[in-house]
Amino acid sequence: MPKRIFSGIQPSGVLHLGNYLGAIKSWVALQEKPARNASHSDAGGYDPIFCVVDLHAITVHQKPDELRQKTLEVAKTYLAAGIDPEKSLIFVQSHVPEHAELAWILNTITKIPELERMIQFKDKSSKNRQNINAGLFSYPVLMAADILLYDTNLVPVGEDQLQHVEMARTLARRFNSLFRETFVVPEPFIVKEGMRIMGLDDPKKKMSKSALSEYNYISLTDTPEKIREKIKKSVTDSGKEIKYSADKPAIKNLINIYALLDNAKPKEIVESYQGKGYAEFKKDLAEVVVGFLEPFQEKYNNIEDREVLRILEEGREKAKKMAEEKMEKIREKIGLL
């Protein structure tokens, strides 16, 4: 059996290099191992679904026109980054209402203290004091519904989503023990160097869509000049050496970005910068980032909205069929007439 992959991104804020390196890059790699040509270790290959999770985005207030626009932009980003609609299913979460239905059902087996422990909830509610809404609180339950609805085996995400994937595992097991075997218990899929790309202005905090300063992140739409400026200004550690170690978090983060974009190992990058300083390293890193983002942006700008809408409609039909079949079984299990 091919392994089902499911992941998603919220259409809110700017998409940045952390989203690409922590999530989308590994999606593209997984997609390239199709079921038919699977090697022995991946027996069965992968069957990927990538979703634009608009219902998650509205847990923070969004302007309707901007939300519509962002939803298209995130789908376009998937395509420009190499997600191929022939190999992967791409759709918008709200186009398949079964996500919300399953989330409601899972809410009834979720304990309030479990949700109170969620780091992202604590973090988002401290930043959004005026709008600590019930949706924000039960956000991980909707995410569990996304994952469980499609019998997902692997969830490729950055480290900040691990606690949510764990919640999905807990709910799958709980439902299975209450109502008999129904859900696959999913596993997270993490790429070590990319799982936590840190802010360029503060290597102790992750690169974030909602960061106050634009010098925190490199947006996937930044111009070459902006990228060069942001990398030049990025915080560095004390000392001069290009060293990959936990006590040099700023340079470690930059090495991770370099290594991932250059498809190299951090060790190889460190070796090639022996005896060289931060300035030279940063200058080269900026060119590596520009070299990656320029062709990405060219592809992005050449994809028409019409084409994206067509792909999303195709995705909706396929996802809806799968979700309807699964929901039938779930409704029956819990005794809905």
Which residues of this protein are in contact with ligand TYM, per CB under 6 A? 6-10, 18-19, 22-23, 53, 56, 143, 146-147, 155, 157-158, 160-161, 164, 194-197, 206-207
Q: Which of 209, 243, 299, 320 is catalytic?
A: 209
Q: Which is nearer to ligand TYM, 207 or 254 (CB)?
A: 207
CB of 175 to ligand TYM, least distance (A): 17
Considering the complex, state which of residue 77 and residue 270 has its C-beta at the smaller distance from ligand TYM.
77
Q: Six-digit token pair at 168?
A: 């999905």
Phi/psi for 214 (5° steps) reads -70, -10
C-alpha neighbours within 13 Å on the C-beta side of residue 169: 12
Catalytic residue among 3, 25, 76, 124: 124
Residue with tokens 């910068």: 273
Min dist CB 92 to ligand TYM, Å, is 12
209 is catalytic: yes
Which element (helix H / strand E) includes 271? Answer: helix 266-272
Residues 6+ apart with CB under 8 A from 261: 21, 288, 289, 291, 292
Q: Is 122 a catalytic residue?
A: no
Tokens at residue 78, please? Answer: 């998937």
- Our CB check for ligand TYM shows the closer of 262 and 307 to be 262
User: Closest distance between ligand TYM and the C-beta of residue 198, in Å?
Assistant: 7
State how far the Cα of 168 lies from the Cα of 297, in Å rounded to an integer. 34
Between vectors from CA 315 to CA 313 and to CA 319, what angle results, nearest 5°? 120
Least distance from ligand TYM to the Cβ atom of residue 160, Å: 5
Residue 176 CB-density burial (10 A; 0-12 exposed, 13-18 middle, 19+ buried): middle
Q: Which residues contact 145 (CB under 8 A, 6 or more apart)?
A: 99, 100, 102, 103, 106
Rank residues 6 and 292 by Cβ distance to ligand TYM and give the closer one.
Answer: 6
Task: Determine which one of 3, 33, 206, 252 is catalytic.
Answer: 206
- Taking each helix axis as running N to C, give the angle between helix 119-127 and helix 162-179, from 0 to 180 degrees, rounded to the nearest 10: 120
Q: Closest CB to ligand TYM among 74 and 330?
A: 74
Active-site residue, 124 included: yes
Output the smallest distance, CB 39 to ligand TYM, in A. 25
Catalytic site positions: 124, 206, 209
